[in-house]
Amino acid sequence: MNIKEAYNWLSNNSKEIARLGAIIELAAWDQRTCAPEKSHGNRANQIALLSKIAHSKGVDKKTKDALDVLKNNDFSGLDDSLAGANVKVWLREYERSSKISADLNEKLALTSANGEAAWESGMKNGDFSGFYPVLKELIDLTREKAESIGYKNEPYDALVDEYEPGITTSDLDTLFCGIADPIKDLVLKISDKSSDLLNYNHDCSFDIEAQKSFSRQIVDAIGYDLAAGRIDEAVHPFTVGIGPGDVRITTRYNPDNLSTGIFGSIHEAGHAMYEQGLHEKAYGTPAGSYASLGVHESQSRLWENMVGRSEGFWQWAFPIARGYFDCLQKVSSEEFLSTINRVSPGLIRVEADEVTYNLHVLIRFEIERELFRNNINVEDIEALWNEKMQKYLGVKPANLKEGAMQDVHWSAGMFGYFPTYTLGNIYSAQLFKAAESELGSLDKMFSEGIFKPLLGWLNKNIHTHGAIYGSSGLIEKATSNPVSSKYFIDYLKSKYSNF
């Protein structure tokens, strides 16, 4: 193989792996939105097979040969200015994948696909005794995975690196350290006051069909391309990228609380606009892939919170909402705004406000870290969880469903994923500040229903760069500053100083 052949082979292989990944996403989307109940075992086998094929493509001997050809070259002979960046990511991915045996990979895929069904039935009937053995197996397999991959200081490093390439447990310790105390202080300060506020939700009921139309109008207005996507309902909302021209979101609606549906929709639309903004021609290569889950989450949180919960946004959107929901006629825009920004420690992460949210993540991070330091086991999770909830948030779960087993992630074998939620928050504040300093007052634009400048800025500074700069490199390039949690803390302090 010469350089050109090697590069073309890797590009093509990378695209095929991406396509297989996209089909796995389709299969998972279908399982959560459409598939009949008796299909689950069969679906797990299908996903495991696709995962096996994708893995074997990634560790193909020809991949190694091609990478060997390219490793020490300057790529100047190639007709692709991003060749060097692509090769760097491929090398990293190969290093990682080739250490996981085909057998372990398939076991993980199959157990994860089955785990979700076991967890779901636990959530249905409140009894997790059927899920615990699967969870135990998933943790064992994941420990084995971490040992296979290797790590700098501790096994958990190998896990977070999958979702946020380059980051370590110790980096996360530092970041959480920078936000935990200021947030705890803020929570104490705000929740004292916010308990006095009115809550319009108490007196209203929101028709589901009207909520669907309203959410659709809003995500369309902020820039989610519905001709390249669709909106469905799911118990646990998520976004899937099924390839160019097909990025779907799901949401759920609560007749008693407008926030669930509208902020769920805006959040997922934020994710989706990231994928819709990726460089289509580079699809399947690092230059056309998302940078990390943290960066992904920065997009969803930015749209959900910095845009969707802002005063300007509701100056524009509140009259629209009133057109859909009669009962909002008797609610003042002030009351509405204070309700959607209410800070109140609770039990459920996905229902948490933007301040306490990160304490929920912190608890999960600390428990995962202990799990993979082999300091605790499945049986110890519940007690530790409840202790931390009490300590950080002052609340106590009555059972596993509203406690340690509330999230889907572990059932799908996704350990090391939670910290990316807080990284997303941190990045989002830093990005929003940089965008505003370049574009001028965003709140004013939102109040006029103008979102294109912000989306354009994110397209240009984040989306089109794909994964070639890594997450911290990308944030630094976009904001001209190294990643820091101070922007997020500043944002929270400034926003909630009014409360």
Query: Which residues contribute to the site for a second copy (CB under 8 A)?
Result: 16, 19-20, 22-23, 26-27, 30, 34-43, 45-46, 49-50, 53, 225-230, 242-246, 248, 283
114 contacts 496 by C-beta, under 8 angstroms: no
We find the least distance from the C-beta atom of residue 346 to a second copy, in angstroms, to be 35
We find the least distance from the C-beta atom of residue 271 to a second copy, in angstroms, to be 16
We find the least distance from the C-beta atom of residue 267 to a second copy, in angstroms, to be 20
Interacting residues of 261 by C-beta distance below 8 A, sequence separation 6+: 206, 211, 212, 214, 215, 251, 252, 253, 254
431 contacts 458 by C-beta, under 8 angstroms: yes
480: burial class by Cβ within 10 Å (0-12, 13-18, 19+)? exposed
Choice between 38 and 202, CB closer to a second copy: 38
Chain centroid to CA 128: how far? 25
**Which residues on adjacent β-strands are paired with residue 329?**
none
Choice between 133 and 245, CB closer to a second copy: 245
Residue with tokens 């080739």: 98
Backbone angles phi and psi of 249, in degrees to 5: -115, 155
We find the least distance from the C-beta atom of residue 26 to a second copy, in angstroms, to be 6
In sign, the C-alpha dihedral spanning 25, 31, 32, 35 is positive
Residue with tokens 């109140």: 344
Instruction: Please give the single-letter amino acid code of residue 231.
Output: I
186 contacts 354 by C-beta, under 8 angstroms: no
We find the least distance from the C-beta atom of residue 321 to a second copy, in angstroms, to be 26
Choice between 230 and 433, CB closer to a second copy: 230
Choice between 24 and 139, CB closer to a second copy: 24
Choice between 49 and 412, CB closer to a second copy: 49
Q: Cβ–Cβ contacts within 10 Å for residue 380, how many? A: 13
CA distance 419 to 171: 11
We find the least distance from the C-beta atom of residue 355 to a second copy, in angstroms, to be 36
Closest by CA to 465, choosing from 238, 18, 457, 439, is 457
Choice between 202 and 281, CB closer to a second copy: 281
CA distance 489 to 481: 16
Catalytic-role residue among 164, 268, 275, 304: 268
We find the least distance from the C-beta atom of residue 28 to a second copy, in angstroms, to be 11
Choice between 19 and 433, CB closer to a second copy: 19
Q: Cβ–Cβ contacts within 10 Å for residue 143, how many? A: 17
Q: Tell me, yes or no, if 268 is annotated catalytic.
A: yes
Choice between 46 and 73, CB closer to a second copy: 46
Choice between 37 and 74, CB closer to a second copy: 37
Residue with tokens 């991070």: 365
We find the least distance from the C-beta atom of residue 283 to a second copy, in angstroms, to be 8
CA distance 311 to 14: 44
CA distance 271 to 303: 9
CA distance 348 to 352: 6
How far CA 202 is from CA of 108, 129, 206, 256, 329, in Å, comes to 45, 36, 11, 8, 14
Both ends of the chain: CA-CA distance in Å?
65
Interacting residues of 313 by C-beta distance below 8 A, sequence separation 6+: 307, 443, 446, 447
We find the least distance from the C-beta atom of residue 273 to a second copy, in angstroms, to be 14
Active-site residue list = 268
